[in-house]
Amino acid sequence: MTTTVKVSEAKTHLSELLARVEAGEEVIIARGNDPIARLSRIRKETDLQLLVNEVRAARGRAQPSTHDELMSWRDEGRR
């Protein structure tokens, strides 16, 4: 999940925002309506389960691939 906050709100609630980021949320900091920075969790090598969850979520959003597409990707560069 991504949340957008204004710079002044980020200054006031930095500790709370960092806790949310630590829990896996992404925070965008905006000046007015213009996004200027992104806070996201620094992944550690031990964050395998988080990575697995992200891949599963991305797969859930993706369109299914056709058999022809899969064969085309497999054969790419073989000719």
The model's pLDDT over 25-35, given as tens digits with 9 standing for 90+, comes to 999 999 999 99
What is the tens place of the pLDDT at every residue in 42-77?
877 667 887 888 888 888 888 888 999 999 999 998
Buried b (16+ CB within 10 A) or exposed e, 39-56: beeeeeeeeeeeeeeeee
CA distances from residue 53 to 23, 61, 76 in whole angstroms, order as listed: 13, 13, 29
Reported pTM = 0.54
Tokens of 48: 């395998």
**Which residue segments constitute the domains of the chain, with CATH numbers given?**
2-63 (3.40.1620.10)
